[in-house]
Structure 1
């Protein structure tokens, strides 16, 4: 039997990091088993679906490393509406489902509670199909439904506690429970690897598989992903869009490494490992069922490690979207003709050790390409205190007289200027850094001045001195 797994997102918004984690787990499992990864877009919510969201799913999978030539599909759930209705009809004809005309208000009136489930009022009324009548599955009165789960063991559900649930709405359209089951049957899915939040639906779906005469798949419900307050990650409250992390400058390799650690860990005391190791060592049966904490600070640290591990030429290439404003990345604050590729290449090794996400490259190097530095007024106020004007005058004089414009000469000159005024280098360089770069922190100052050049450095120092008059 060929293993077939599926990832079935809905095109109703940005791509959730939890969904990306599930996609990766399905994809790796299929590769390990010599099986097939199927992408099925569940697009039956016509009011919320947008074509751009579907394309967003495909591009997000591309970015995370699941290339389009490595999976089957995409299939679209809307294309299988006929199969869904046919399955509902078979269940009705076999006596496994019945029509119900109860409104929610009527059920609440009979049960005296808005929280109690359906009371089975129409179970034996023998209603024929009709407008506004929903089709309900006839849940067995006795026995249990055992869900064999590779991660959670064998959760057992008493059938009498499962209400007769709706499988088709009053207009005849199947609900998610039935459509999902029929799609999996149609596509020959052997293993369903999905988020824990779907576990409560699983006994109902397994009952549908049994009623339709098909062996259920092997289930594996991976842990829910939570925030620092141990709340389930929410699109409304948390930063969950994979695209947002991509556009901020997280590397795909770092993201997929981190996502795979949400509920699982490679062997040994290590977390940052080659993808080949993850592909070889990942086991569904070793996934921890407890909620997995999505720690953005830890992800950021991961990303910094991955950035520092890049060869410099790859780092330069990775920064290009932020330097040029391509794709979904906002344009940088300088004009295209102001960008100097050689100057960036010269400072790239310095910047590479100091940023954790690629978008941080812009504030670190903008002073090289802007006609004038973008001054942080808080930094100016902090650096340009009493004595700053005198120090800038001395720095201008010292730098003007330099024969060799190199980092070591620039440093020794400013050290001497500071020493004459009883200042250590750290204090002496603060006004110079703000005058030239606009900020109190950034790349190593003297290497930056060397790349910026004599003329532009002196022009900025003099402009800062005039502002202090």
Structure 2
């Protein structure tokens, strides 16, 4: 491949970009970067009836989050914006008129009522639905006041052949393809016309798109031929299925790419994971940074068979990436999620927050857990803990033995010269034996005393982060709480 390779990502703003849509963008971007080519973003906003406010912003935010930069477009404030088809309507109208003039298209005046009746009759007769070419050879003049659509005049005989880089030679019977609409009555083009004109004008060399567009390709090949354009090379990407091999849906994880960002998946995880939905380096390699993926990406490595979206694998991969972050990187990325779940954390300095987060980095699979599961960290930041006194009394212990264990622990810890993990452990383990307790019993009541809960990061590491003053204050409060319990 040479440096003239040009590809495009052309989403419709009819909804927020889901994983299948973004996978298509990623494969195009990887191909462009591997071949030192150009990656173009083109917003196909000609379906005004289905336009979703905010969708364009979500699409662009998703690309930026994943690091998929694009190479050209209208400049605004020193940066490239995407192309918008709605700003190129005159170009599409001119193309439609050219096709009419050459006999490759015609105006159709059929009303929506007639088309509905036609489809109903076809369905009743159990024959394939499609336009019946009522206006194909009729007079150009239609009913007064009716704005026609423009339809393409498909050949009625023969077959349309094309080569798909992933699937090989493909052929369709022309007789099975109807005279599809090129230009709607509102003056906006359909996808079929607009993408052909744009791909030609933008010198696109390769069209990589979802498998669902395979059946539209013969229409596009015929359009290229009628316009006198050289078609690009095609590569139709495999479908993405859920873990049960059914069509991917929200229950499998087919949500907006921005939802993954909000859940706390890392962008490098998503790039790695999405790249493996239909492409692979080899039979075993799973974790790859984007540089390695770009270096090895090729269309020949893309599978014909459907890819499986496995949310458990995504979670595992994200956990691996989180564990590979330096503590400083983890702190920077985690802190917004932490403060969303535990607002009190915003009052603490970076070093304290970093020390607290260090204890849970190994356990976190998604940064969103810090927001959605505040119990992971709240005891580091709350001034006062809320728990029931009875929670201090562990299995096989009484109120009296619990009070004695806590008081003795407080006495020993107060005498430590250095309040560090090693010194605390060297004092507390022998103390358990002296009190006739198992280490787990002593440590259990201490854990509740200093965190307010029975599950936390390792006890002595937690106490070291909390520091001498706060740890001893909490143990003292726990001793007082035991007096609330009747023997």
Aligned counterparts, 1:215-226, within 5 A: 215-226=230-241
Q: Which residue number corresponds to residue 420 of structure 2?
A: 406
> What secondary structure is seen at the aligned counterpart in 2 of 1:244?
helix
SS at match of 1:351: coil
Taking a change above 3 Å as real, the CA distance of residues 277 and 346 of structure 1, as seen in their structure-2 partners, is same
Q: Give the one of 357, 370, 384 matched to 1:372.
A: 384
For 1:305, the equivalent position in structure 2 comes to: 320
Q: TM-score, normalised by structure 1?
A: 0.89
Does the residue aligned with 2:88 lie in a helix, a strand or coil?
helix
How many residue pairs are counted as aligned between the two chains? Answer: 461
Offset of 1:25 from its aligned partner?
Answer: 1.2
Greater Cα offset, 105-114 or 445-454: 105-114
1:166 equivalent among 181, 202, 205: 181
> How far is the alpha carbon of 1:302 from its aligned partner?
0.8
Alignment CA distance shift 1:275-1:237 (3 Å): closer
Deviations 1:109-157 (A, max 9, x none): 5533486222233322234366253322221111111231111112211
CA distance in 1, matches of 2:171, 2:148: 31
2:11 match: secondary structure: coil
Distance in 2 (CA, whole Å) between partners of 1:8 and 1:33 is 20
Q: Deviations over 1:55-87 (max 9, x none)?
A: 222222111112356886510010111111111
Instruction: Quote how far apart the aligned CAs of 1:187 are.
Output: 1.5
CA offsets per residue over residues 213-269 of structure 1, 9 Å max, x none? 111111111112222222333358744221121122211111101111111111362
Instruction: Note if 1:152 corresponds to 2:170.
Output: no
Secondary structure, in 3 states, of the residue corresponding to 2:82?
Answer: strand
**Contact kept in structure 1, 2:18 and 2:254, CA below 8 Å:** no
Matches within 5 A, 1:319-358: 319-324=334-339, 331-335=340-344, 338-358=347-367
Find the residue that maps to 1:55 and give its secondary structure. Answer: helix
Task: Within 5 Å, give how 1:92-241 maps onto structure 2.
Answer: 92-100=100-108, 101=110, 103-108=114-119, 110-111=121-122, 112-113=124-125, 116-128=129-141, 131-234=146-249, 238-241=253-256
Secondary structure, in 3 states, of the residue corresponding to 1:177?
helix
1:69/1:177 Cα in 2 relative to 1: closer, same or farther (>3 Å)? Answer: closer
1:387 and 2:397 are equivalent in the alignment: yes
Tell me whether 331-340 or 259-268 shows the greater mean CA deviation: 331-340
Could you tell me which residue of structure 2 aligns to residue 269 of structure 1?
A: 284
- Provide the rounded CA distance (Å) in 1 between the counterparts of 2:390 and 2:131: 68
**Which residue number corresponds to residue 77 of structure 2?**
none
Return the alpha-carbon distance in structure 2 between the equivalents of residues 86 and 366 of structure 1: 64
Cross-structure match for 1:289: 304
Aligned with 1:43: secondary structure?
Answer: coil
Counterpart-to-counterpart distance in 2, 1:68 and 1:38:
6
**After superposition, where does 1:26-37 map in structure 2 within 5 Å?**
26-37=28-39
SS in 1 for 2:360: helix
Residue 328 of structure 1 aligns with which residue? none
Kept in 1: contact 2:14–2:50 (CA 8 A): yes
The structure-2 alpha-carbon separation of the partners of 1:12 and 1:386, relative to structure 1 and needing over 3 Å to count, comes to farther
Q: 1-side partners of 2:262 and 2:105: how far apart? A: 49
Shift in Å at residue 385 of structure 1? Answer: 5.5
Q: TM-score when scaled to structure 2?
A: 0.85
Q: Which residue of 2 aligns with 1:66?
A: 68
Aligned to 1:279: 294
> Any conservation in 2 of the 1:312–1:349 contact (CA below 8 Å)?
yes
What's 1:425 paired with? 439
Residues 156-201 of structure 1: CA deviation (Å, up to 9, x unaligned): 1111111222222233432222122222122121111111122122
Matched, 1:460 2:470: no
Pick which of 190-199 and 96-105 moved more: 96-105
Q: Which moved more, 1:142-151 or 1:449-458?
A: 449-458
Q: Which structure 2 residue ranges, 5 or more long, are not aligned?
A: 74-79
